[in-house]
Structure 1
Amino acid sequence: MSAERVDLSAFIKAYDVRGVVPDELDAHVTRAIGAAFADVVVIPETPAGSRPTVVIGNDMRPSGPELVAGFADGLTARGVDVVTIGLASTDGLYFASGRLDVPGAMFTASHNPAQYNGIKLCRAGARPVGQDSGLAAVRDLAGDYLGGEVPQVADDERGSVTSRDMLTEYAQFLRSLVDLSGIRPLKVVVDAGNGMGGFTAPAVLGTAAGLPELPLEVVPLYFELDGTFPNHEANPLEPANLVDLQHAVVEHGADIGLAFDGDADRCFVVDEKGDPVSPSAITALVGLREVAREQAAGRTPTVIHNLISSRVVPDLLQAAGATTVRTRVGHSFIKAQMAEHEAVFGGEHSAHYYFRDFFFADTGMLAALHVLAALGSQPHPLSALSDAYQPYVASGEINSRVTSVPEARGRVVEAYVTQQGAGPVEVDELDGLTVSHWDGHPQWWFNLRASNTEPLLRLNVEAADEDIMIKVRDDVLSLVRQGEPAYAQEPDQGSDETSDETGATA
């Protein structure tokens, strides 16, 4: 072992591995990460008498097979067997980890540009591996191995590599959780963005996996797997990447549009008019379905939501008899709370949806099935159905680059908390600063969070009407951006982009 560790912190972050190929990630690096994953997570957690095993999947990026081969070589060098499932969505890999009850590794960079790739690691049963639950130790040990060499087991103890196709099992499992056979016929436009949705949608929504035909007419958009993303980025959280789907829904007279990100673990929805349905509205809609199912089984339901989800989520779910738990932004927090509370469902503003019956993991496709079932089981268009779940007005996430995060935040605290210039408010610091006037009139709240990696402050505002939302938004932005040279002109409102906290898990 070399005394000099290679520093991998530039691309092994809080939740996953995400780096440029080949400058940061190549087969040599993934071999070291695979060996470290074996030593830190896989071997110590393998039950006595069982053979340590890891299941591996990859998305459509051209660098995937080479990086997988390096990772598998690192695992087998440490005596771990490998099951490769080939092309898969991230939730397809979570399914494989859950079904086989072994740790997993998904090679994907989600919505990141073509030059990136990465790895999402999980324990057996799709349990997450994050910075505080093993990833930091994997990073450091991989750095040691790169500084020296990967230790080898004896030849007769070396792991084996086998392949298994699990797409049909994945599709069957999802269909077993939501029955679409009795819904009215629906025309559905699906924008896969040249990502893995083009692989999973035909299997789950169609007959490509040999399953019975559903009452769905699927209009495919960019189903060709292409990790260079020739049509648009596979990040539907950016409004520009929804434009093609919106046009296609209207052009084809479709009932609904679905957009998946690159690794197809997130799903975004547009209605028959081409208007986006907010992820918070989807959280409320799906959450109510899962709550009703729990109650019908005689169980008391719990639903998790992050703190920048719309207030409509706890309002409706609590009124339906559910317990709601508010958590920080980021999948590791959601998944931890899901498991701790045995929650039936969880949702995030970034369109990650988590299900107890899917190993407490996130799956955009299962959320899509719920939305299709809700839409197809009643006669009204999606715009009318979703109105009930979107009563408030939200700003979306607005990013401000500042010289000093503490000083910018301090100006907001002084104005809204110390002086209480807006009147009595509730304040908490679960994740950043949340100031709420929801119990007063007019109703509004905002959350101001600092980026983990950049001098950015992220603002989310919600109010009972648009005028109040705009006023609060602009007031807080003026305080945040006060004296900042980049905002000397009319301030740019930013974009509803995936934050580093959620972008690392997208």
Structure 2
Amino acid sequence: MHPRLAAVTKAYDVRGRTPEQLDDGIVAALGAAFADEVGISDGRGRAVVGHDMRDTSPGFAAAFAAGVASRGGSVVSIGLASTDMLYAASGQLDLPGVMITASHNPAGYNGLKLCRAGARPIGLETGLAAMAEVAGGLLDDPVDLTTAPEPERLDFLQAYADQLVGLAPVAGRRLRVVVDAGNGMAGHTARAVLDRIDVEVVPLYFELDGTFPNHDANPLDSSTLVDLQAAVREHGADLGLAFDGDADRCFVVDERAELVTPSAITALIASRHLVQMPGATILHNVICSRAVPEIIAEHGGTAVRTPVGHSLIKAEMARTDAVFGGEHSGHFYFRDFYLADSGMLAALHVMGALAEQSGPVSELMDQFSRYAASGEINSTVDDAAVVTERIAEAYAAHDQDRLDGLTVTAPTWWFNVRASNTEPLLRLNVEGDDEAVMASVRDDVLALVRR
């Protein structure tokens, strides 16, 4: 693979710093390779393109369209979009698509998320590596960006909002909800969706700004939730919602401004699906709480444990005909949404469940939160494989599996260590029956990691 493509081609998408790693030429080459990969070259079809609010995104969308056009394909542009809005367009129009975004990455990054028609993902093993090979071969004979035809324009925001509200209606008492868009794409989509239901919205940072002047649009970082938590307290809100930069992930804080874990959200949405579809299959990844499969079983469902990562989860959902899947990172996947993830659809499910009963969201979520969790702890290591084996040896007397990294399980605790795909990091998640058990295991494993 050409070194410039190797630097930006990740497991599930393309991502890199601009313009040092990712520029118009590379994006155009990827557009040409994409047209070949999805079979829309030589006038045989169209692709749908959306982009986020980063300064480089409109130019990258145009460069990608030029690359598609250089192969004889054409583009339908939906303009500013969240990633789940692009998936909705790919699904409704039955077209392959690309979203120009670097998701939760800081300003100065950009990237591409790619899918086949029907929002079927394209990852490293399902076409992205082949595309990168083709694109690398085009860099010496670059696409002419000045001759591309103007793409067809489509205003898709209302169709997207209608679809989501139709999938997860919210009825009952009126809620007051603080929404922190983080200057990301939820600032474009949240109003269109939430204006269709009976909620009072308190907006935070809805102004689209790819420099992220208030905080990074990355709710996995707890420091980015501080303003949302303060606003929930100030306005006496029923709950708060925080979206990442491309709004495909959603995190929830309760009326006390305390974080509701994505595992608890997974269990809640699973239980709602199982009321409608008894016996259905629900997916959860290896770092979700042990409460998730317990609750799925208690509601008569079948729980399937998966590795981390959206391409893997979507493939497993298709294989098992699962109705829903959740990741502890705040990604939630829905069979009735093309197996794709949508932070906004997950938020509608939470609001729908809350509006149907009179108590606060903390009371609603208590039944789905059973154990003490460490959260994800990242450690820089020289060799993740060596450290992982050191941990496996130390815990050889306990049950272990290698579905994704190393998971070690005991009656009152479990932990998982996984190497990062992109950085020299080892990620640790620990859960215990109570805080003391969790902290003891966490500290013991960290001592092995950082020895």
Class of the TM-score when normalised by the shorter of the 2 chains: over 0.9
Identify which of 82, 91, 105 aligns with 1:98. 91
Change (3 A) 1:160 1:447: same
Q: 1:350-402: per-residue Cα shift (whole Å, max 9, x none)?
A: 00000000000000000000000000100110111111111100001111112
Contact 1:61/1:226 (CA < 8 Å) preserved in 2?
A: yes
- Alpha-carbon distance in 2 for matches of 1:197, 1:62: 17
Q: 1:204-261: per-residue Cα shift (whole Å, max 9, x none)?
A: 001xxxx5xx321000000001110000000011000000000000100000000000
Q: Which residue of 2 aligns with 1:247?
A: 230
- Alpha-carbon distance in 2 for matches of 1:175, 1:12: 35
- Alpha-carbon distance in 1 for matches of 2:423, 2:251: 27
Identify which of 243, 247, 258 aligns with 1:260. 243
Once the two structures are TM-superposed, the CA of residue 160 in structure 1 deviates from its matched residue by 6.5
Change (3 A) 1:160 1:226: closer
Q: 1:289-341: per-residue Cα shift (whole Å, max 9, x none)?
A: 0111113xxxx311011011001100000111111110001111111111111
- Residue 325 of structure 1: SS of its match in structure 2? strand
- Which residue type is aligned with residue 12 of structure 2? Y
Contact 1:76/1:160 (CA < 8 Å) preserved in 2?
A: no
Once the two structures are TM-superposed, the CA of residue 65 in structure 1 deviates from its matched residue by 1.0
Q: 1:58-107: per-residue Cα shift (whole Å, max 9, x none)?
A: 01111111111111011011111110000000000000000000100000
Greater gyration radius:
1
- Which residue type is aligned with residue 236 of structure 1? P
Once the two structures are TM-superposed, the CA of residue 455 in structure 1 deviates from its matched residue by 2.9
Once the two structures are TM-superposed, the CA of residue 454 in structure 1 deviates from its matched residue by 3.1
Change (3 A) 1:412 1:372: same
- Residue 474 of structure 1: SS of its match in structure 2? helix
- Residue 408 of structure 2: SS of its match in structure 1? strand
1:373 aligns with 2:352: yes
Change (3 A) 1:5 1:197: closer
Once the two structures are TM-superposed, the CA of residue 183 in structure 1 deviates from its matched residue by 1.4
Identify which of 387, 390, 403 aligns with 2:366. 387
Aligned residues: 450
Once the two structures are TM-superposed, the CA of residue 408 in structure 1 deviates from its matched residue by 2.2
Contact 2:66/2:144 (CA < 8 Å) preserved in 1?
A: no
- Which residue type is aligned with residue 310 of structure 1? S
Matches within 5 A, 1:27-176: 27-43=24-40, 51-150=44-143, 161-176=151-166
Once the two structures are TM-superposed, the CA of residue 414 in structure 1 deviates from its matched residue by 2.0
- Residue 7 of structure 2: SS of its match in structure 1? coil
Change (3 A) 1:415 1:176: same
1:447 aligns with 2:416: yes
Identify which of 186, 192, 212 aligns with 2:175. 186
Change (3 A) 1:477 1:358: same
Once the two structures are TM-superposed, the CA of residue 191 in structure 1 deviates from its matched residue by 0.3
- Residue 237 of structure 1: SS of its match in structure 2? coil
Change (3 A) 1:62 1:149: closer
Structure 1 unpaired stretches of 5+: 483-506
Q: Which residue of 2 aligns with 1:285?
A: 268
Q: Which residue of 2 aligns with 1:396?
A: 375
Q: Which residue of 2 aligns with 1:428?
A: 401
Change (3 A) 1:5 1:379: closer
Contact 1:192/1:221 (CA < 8 Å) preserved in 2?
A: yes
Contact 1:30/1:70 (CA < 8 Å) preserved in 2?
A: yes
Which deviates the most, 456-465 or 19-28? 19-28
Contact 2:32/2:68 (CA < 8 Å) preserved in 1?
A: yes
Change (3 A) 1:404 1:66: closer
Change (3 A) 1:437 1:91: same
- Alpha-carbon distance in 2 for matches of 1:467, 1:352: 29
- Residue 324 of structure 1: SS of its match in structure 2? strand
1:22 aligns with 2:19: yes
Q: 1:9-42: per-residue Cα shift (whole Å, max 9, x none)?
A: 1011111111122222222221111001111223
Contact 1:78/1:151 (CA < 8 Å) preserved in 2?
A: no
Identify which of 460, 472, 480 aligns with 2:441. 472
Structure 2 unpaired stretches of 5+: none
Matches within 5 A, 1:402-413: 402-413=381-392
TM-score (norm 2): 0.97
Query: Quick one: percent identity of the two aligned structures?
Result: 59
- Alpha-carbon distance in 1 for matches of 2:304, 2:118: 23
1:198 aligns with 2:187: yes
CA root-mean-square deviation: 1.8
Identify which of 362, 366, 380 aligns with 2:341. 362
Once the two structures are TM-superposed, the CA of residue 159 in structure 1 deviates from its matched residue by 7.2
- Which residue type is aligned with residue 184 of structure 1? R
- Residue 336 of structure 1: SS of its match in structure 2? helix
- Residue 147 of structure 1: SS of its match in structure 2? coil
- Alpha-carbon distance in 1 for matches of 2:269, 2:2: 47
1:337 aligns with 2:337: no
Contact 1:272/1:382 (CA < 8 Å) preserved in 2?
A: yes
